[in-house]
Structure 1
Amino acid sequence: MVASSLAVAVDVAPTVWSGRDDGPGAEHLRWHHVVTLDHAEAAPGDAAFVGFRSDEGVRRNKGRQGAADGPRTLRAALASMALPQRQRAVDVGDVEVADDDLEGGHRRLGDVVAELLDQGLRVTVLGGGHEVAYGSYLGIAGSGLLRDGARLGVLNLDAHFDLRDEPRPSSGTPFLQMARDEEAAGRRLNYWVLGISQPSNTETLFRTAEQLGVRYLTDTECGALERTRVDAFVEEFLDSCDVVHLTIDLDVLPAAAAPGVSAPAAYGVPMEIVEHVCTKVAASGKPLLVDVAELNPDLDVDTRTARAAARLVHRILVTSAQSTPARARG
């Protein structure tokens, strides 16, 4: 464990961000200029990054491993992106799954995320396989955001439902795990998915989704000419909740845009639609937890997947800062 000003220690300490530098002054700001590694300096409204180094869920799900290196690569892709206005951010380091202990990694990630959320930070979790989503959920469920009856909404941008009923948690089970936890708490999981690929989901998974009341759009319903349908879906989702968990599995994108994932999409949702959805959610002003999953640098081509993921994170954080000006720190 790594000591820090966090009450809960991470496994791997953060490292200094670096990237292109065009000179001093706000007109040259990039992410690496504004990220601090000192959690004690963070103030409510700042962005916060935590990584989840995990391949265990993908391994259990019989996928192609390598996503444990995703957090490092995503940070590198984000570091040189230019900021339109100053904001502050902190990187608290990574939770790492070792010795096949995915369950322990989930608990530790949940503890870290809950602490950051309770400090009023805008948290982005960098995965890791899509098992990261359950650890993120544990954080939001354990935070103060859901007190006083606040309604949680989970929006998954993904080709897959990830509702597998398996003996052990994996990258294919996180939303069934959430549904069971919500049921145990006397609630029904408010789960929506955008980008479902019919050939990638069995009839059993569609039946499970129906039983759980899952709302979804298929990839064929999310094309560039379907923005009105997508907007209506996202607006209805936002109306259904007070707190948002936005989880992005990069295999929602076409393989040409995101080749570096365990299961590249033969069809996928266009980048312009995925970014539009992310921007719309971030602009809602609702409390928001974001995680990004399945970036596998070993399978990437020309860093396309890393750059696509970084652009989505960038757009979400820039939009959320602009939509709530008090959060943007000078």
Structure 2
Amino acid sequence: MKSFLFPRINPPSFTWSRPDEGEILKVHEWIRPITSATVDPKTYKKADVVILGVPLSRSSISASGASEFPDAFRRAWKGFSTYNLDEDVDLSELAALDAGDVPMHVTDIRKCQENIVEASALLHHHFPDAKICAIGGDHSITAMMVKGLKKEKPAEKIGILQFDTHFDLRDMSDNGPSNGTPMRNLIESGIVEAANMYNIGLHGFFNSKDLKKYADEKGVNYFTLRETRKKGIEATVLQCLEELSEKVDTIYLTVDMDVLDIAYAPGVPASTPGGMTSAELLEGVRTAGRHNKVKAMDIVCLDPLKDTLAQPTVKLGTHVFLTFLSGAIAGNN
């Protein structure tokens, strides 16, 4: 059933049956799909979090089925409780809505990306106080989600907190708006200042020297995984948030799942040895979620088709999302 967001946002690709009454115990019982039958447009502004599926991965440098993650993400909900023992918080305290998926053109990547910009702007317009959580898709979606945010809130200065193995600063003239260029895209389009970008997790042999040179010349802030571990993941994230909060109005969190060590993320096309542990990423995301200026986030570059039978990477990606919201609740209390 369609919603008031259609046609710029399609109904969710997969929905669970929800109980009409009784205690909410599981995530699939808690998150409500936005349809004309389930959500009254007069009350939608009360939402605390709104999910948007962004099933685009044709713009990936390496072959990727990350477009399948929004569907797999929704199907994973049944395996998670709304209660987080570590934080002693229950996510069912939040009003969570699933807006559905951005419509994608079969062959035209730029049209797909234009649709993402429009969908992002639409959600930030209708849900001005909610945390907008985009479920990718490859990393090219980040630039489009941020452009949509800027389109709706042109007066706001935006900063980026990025968990990533890569700079994602490749030359636009060679790579176009791909998953290797979202940060450069935002810099060159004037949407985000380079000095307001903070990248945590770079490591090893997975970035060329010219990208580091570009980052240094433009003033991008970055912390290698090695130095992050020496300082501590929580302390590093807190430093980034403290510096960003003095310079920007809104912080956008982007989690590229390739920041993880390949042992923890078999379902990531560009996963590498020597990356973050799942515990490190979850701690970083939880810390970011606590900050009141982190108003939007995405999870990108997770390919369920490459995952093993038990879908460990899909489960971890879902855990990242829930941990971010756990941090948000804790930050509000």
Identity of aligned residues (%): 23
Whole-angstrom CA distance in 2 between matches of 1:208 and 1:230: 23
Segments of 5+ residues of structure 1 without an aligned counterpart are 326-330
Match of 2:58 in 1: 56
Whole-angstrom CA distance in 1 between matches of 2:172 and 2:8: 30
For structure 1, which segment, 172-181 or 40-49, has the greater mean C-alpha deviation from structure 2 after superposition? 40-49
Segments of 5+ residues of structure 2 without an aligned counterpart are 83-89
Q: Using the TM superposition, give the Cα deviation of residue 240 of structure 1 relative to its aligned residue in structure 2, in angstroms.
A: 3.5
1:125 counterpart (106, 129, 134)? 134
1:13 counterpart (11, 29, 38)? 11
1:170 has 2:195 as partner: no
- Matched residue SS, 2:232: helix
CA RMSD of superposed structures (Å)? 2.6
**Residue identity opposite 2:124 in structure 1:** L
Match of 2:86 in 1: none
Change in 2 beyond 3 A, CA 1:270/1:223: farther
Work out whether residues 51 and 127 of structure 1, in 8 Å CA contact, stay in contact via their aligned partners in 2: yes
Change in 2 beyond 3 A, CA 1:224/1:255: farther
* TM-score (structure 2 length as normaliser): 0.85
Whole-angstrom CA distance in 1 between matches of 2:70 and 2:282: 20
For structure 1, which segment, 127-136 or 161-170, has the greater mean C-alpha deviation from structure 2 after superposition? 161-170
- Once the two structures are superposed, what CA deviation does each residue of 1:33-84 show, in whole Å capped at 9, x if it has no partner? 33232353522343111111112111xx2x0221110111112223442221
Whole-angstrom CA distance in 2 between matches of 1:196 and 1:312: 19
Match of 1:44 in 2: 46
For structure 1, which segment, 224-233 or 162-171, has the greater mean C-alpha deviation from structure 2 after superposition? 224-233
Whole-angstrom CA distance in 2 between matches of 1:141 and 1:177: 14
Pairing of 1:288-327 with structure 2 (within 5 A): 288-301=295-308, 302-324=310-332
Pairing of 1:1-330 with structure 2 (within 5 A): 4-6=3-5, 9-10=8-9, 12-15=10-13, 17-18=15-16, 25-26=22-23, 28-38=25-35, 40=41, 41-58=43-60, 61=61, 63-83=62-82, 84=90, 85-118=92-125, 119-120=127-128, 121-144=130-153, 146-147=154-155, 150-167=156-173, 168-182=176-190, 190-223=196-229, 226-227=232-233, 228-301=235-308, 302-324=310-332
For structure 1, which segment, 192-201 or 313-322, has the greater mean C-alpha deviation from structure 2 after superposition? 313-322
Work out whether residues 78 and 311 of structure 1, in 8 Å CA contact, stay in contact via their aligned partners in 2: no
Work out whether residues 32 and 80 of structure 1, in 8 Å CA contact, stay in contact via their aligned partners in 2: no
Whole-angstrom CA distance in 2 between matches of 1:245 and 1:298: 28
Whole-angstrom CA distance in 2 between matches of 1:223 and 1:96: 40
Match of 1:328 in 2: none
Work out whether residues 120 and 145 of structure 2, in 8 Å CA contact, stay in contact via their aligned partners in 1: yes
- Matched residue SS, 1:92: strand
